[in-house]
Structure 1
């Protein structure tokens, strides 16, 4: 686990990303990924969303696409979507199917083509959000989960807006147990949007 860094978020992110690279190449990774996908299947069964926004994994983020494609093919009313980063640093979601041409963003993230007339914008029922790090806090008896991302603020801006348009929206953070940060390492700021659930290899936390 990375040590204390005060305000040096850049250093903390870099250490977490380096650790994720080593973790993804390690012997325990396949089992951890299997446990993660089992937890995702449990979540989908419990919450029963009609549409899920996923992500194309970069920098050793866990690849959940096979599980989600299986989920989508099990019911023709299930839809998958991918985020597109707008110039105003908000995300827009477009329906996605395997085989769609994806275009790399300026951050090298493969994105849907908003000009693809066969795909339409959608506010999904559920958004899967990969974490560089994550933390947990308690308010009364309720747990809150927070995501440390890459620093662009796209998800926080987008969630603040989408939650007004769709109060039932569910946000599921995706990460591993070792990525959990304590208050000495990182604390969520006022502009950070909480996650509704946190999925790790050991548990679905909500």
Structure 2
């Protein structure tokens, strides 16, 4: 990833406008449109994985209209995968850790109202995951992603640079969240991903 200069005021405004616009568009999808996109996410995900191992997968629970990945877990290739959810690291403020999760595990809301595993389930080191599926508000095919603005994933993923083993990083969203290269102003803290997984809602 090339060195990025600090964002100018106009670039910050452009990011905020794009984030607001795409979040609103995402929220306006009907329940039927979300279900259709969730069904289409499985083949898109398998195609993006190609031949990479997927025994340990970190994902997210859909929030704020995000693309739901849970139906994709029923795909034959992923049925035996161990899945992990992010939770706010109490020891490193602004960072995430990933806890083992299954649908029957009890959940509780974090400070943002997002569900996390309620009990101290076993956590897996970031570098020991095979795949990390990242929610995104916007992304492009060059591998740049913009999240919700809290910076949790970017700070967490920055730690991977010092590790010889790297999980595959895939940004996930609806087709309309993929923007042309150059539309998304890049911030110095943005961490690149290895690929994208998109699904249409129509």
If the TM-score is normalised by the length of the shorter chain, which range does it land in? 0.7 to 0.9
CA contact (8 A) 1:72 1:79 kept: no
Change (3 A) 1:166 1:100: farther
Question: How many Å separate the matches in 2 of 1:29 and 1:55?
Answer: 16
Which residue in 2 is equivalent to 1:62? 67
Answer with 61-70 or 88-97: which moved more. Answer: 61-70
State whether structure 2 residue 123 is matched by structure 1 residue 121. yes
Which residue in 2 is equivalent to 1:196? 194
Secondary structure at 2:140 match in 1:
strand
CA contact (8 A) 2:38 2:71 kept: no
TM-score, reference length from structure 2: 0.79
Question: How many Å separate the matches in 1 of 2:123 and 2:34?
Answer: 34
Secondary structure at 1:129 match in 2:
strand
Change (3 A) 1:100 1:72: farther
Which residue in 2 is equivalent to 1:53? 58
State whether structure 2 residue 177 is matched by structure 1 residue 179. yes
Deviations 1:62-105 (CA, angstroms, capped at 9, x unpaired)? 11112225558733xx2110111124111001111121111111
Which residue in 1 is equivalent to 2:97? 92
Higher relative contact order (CA 8 A, sep 6+): 2
Change (3 A) 1:92 1:72: farther
Question: How many Å separate the matches in 2 of 1:84 and 1:166?
Answer: 24
The residue correspondences of 1:75-86 to structure 2 (distance < 5 A) are 75=80, 78-86=81-89
Which residue in 2 is equivalent to 1:12? 18
Unaligned runs of 5+ in 1: 137-143
Question: How many Å separate the matches in 1 of 2:178 and 2:138?
Answer: 6
Change (3 A) 1:192 1:6: closer
CA positional deviation for 1:161: 0.7
Answer with 9-18 or 180-189: which moved more. Answer: 180-189
Change (3 A) 1:184 1:43: closer
The residue correspondences of 1:119-158 to structure 2 (distance < 5 A) are 119-123=121-125, 124-136=129-141, 144-158=142-156
CA contact (8 A) 2:34 2:68 kept: no
CA positional deviation for 1:201: 2.4
CA contact (8 A) 1:72 1:80 kept: no
CA contact (8 A) 2:39 2:71 kept: no
Aligned residue pair count: 185
